[in-house]
Structure 1
Amino acid sequence: MELPNPQPEEPPSWDELYSVNLMPSELFVKFRKELEGLRVGVNLEFYNAPTNDYHAKLVLKPLSPERRWKFVYEPLRQDVRILSKKIPLTRFLNLQFGVGHNFQMNATGWKFNLTTCLGGDGVSRIRNKTTLSLCPGVDFRFGWRADYVIPEITGSLGTDEPLFNMNSGRLQASLDRVEAILTSSNYY
């Protein structure tokens, strides 16, 4: 018994292959004041997805280029942390570690974070931040992500495979975070 030839699969539309989402899921407003070699900041963080959430943070860190730490206090969660600067292990791999205490739970702990701007779940991924300075003391930072599969062209001659075959790839890009950074400094 011979099975009927299945119908050739319909190629995906351009809308399925390429998508760009410009609605950010995170909005940050950061107020910074530079004093005596330190930067004091108040961060107001609004999260839209997956749930609506709000965080307020007080951040203190040295201004020197070789700064190695930052202090973060979250009054709503009653959480205090001291975090290291992101330490580059390779060109694309960073390590950050920290120690913290939560006053509500009366718990102290440490954590580390190994991050990269590349990689994803079976798909190539680029994650990056781009900063746009409008004027001294007013900056916008955009956190964006692009998941992609590079286009591929194959072919063969004298086999069962087609002479020419093209996979047009995929791209899903999104604007994940928008930050407005307002800095007050005596150095302008």
Structure 2
Amino acid sequence: MKAYNDATRYFKVSMADINMYASNNTRLTGSLAFGLINFPFKYRIRSHGDGDFAGAFNFGAGLGYTFPKRKYRNATFSMITGYSISNTILDKSAVRRNEGDLVETNNYSAFSISIGPMVENNRVQAGLFFGTDLLSKINQERFGWKHQGKPWISIGIGYSIFSKQEATAEGSNKDVNKN
């Protein structure tokens, strides 16, 4: 066995060898996701098998986490929670009491909470969301809405206007010392 002293040794390696065999050591990190959320329809799940399919206006904020994107994938995956105000239409079949107080068009506001996965590819987004709607306490006590706190399912389709752009290796070195 040959013993080496603490002598410093230097090796000359060409840039061609470094470029051929070296790779970037990049750490994959996720990011915070934030945006506007809207569900074009909601399918209210019922245990009897007679679910309620409703389209209604709702508008709110989505907050979530975008998982790290691998270079060999085109799409990103996020888990989103949504908080919105929904327009809920009450009819006589959807309430338990005071049906006579309802007129033909009965629009009430409800607070919606949702969660679901979302996939984004080239700024186009699609997701599957589960949630629940809650009428105000006064309206719930008055009408006894059958869907209060019950689950619904919806899809979301969107387009990312403000998206993080990835810098290319060539583009990141251009125009650095322009002044």
- Calculate the TM-score normalised by the size of structure 1: 0.27
Greater relative contact order (Cα < 8 A, sep 6+): 1
Q: Which has the higher strand share?
A: 1
- Calculate the TM-score normalised by the size of structure 2: 0.28
Greater Rg by CA: 2
Q: Which has the higher helix share?
A: 2
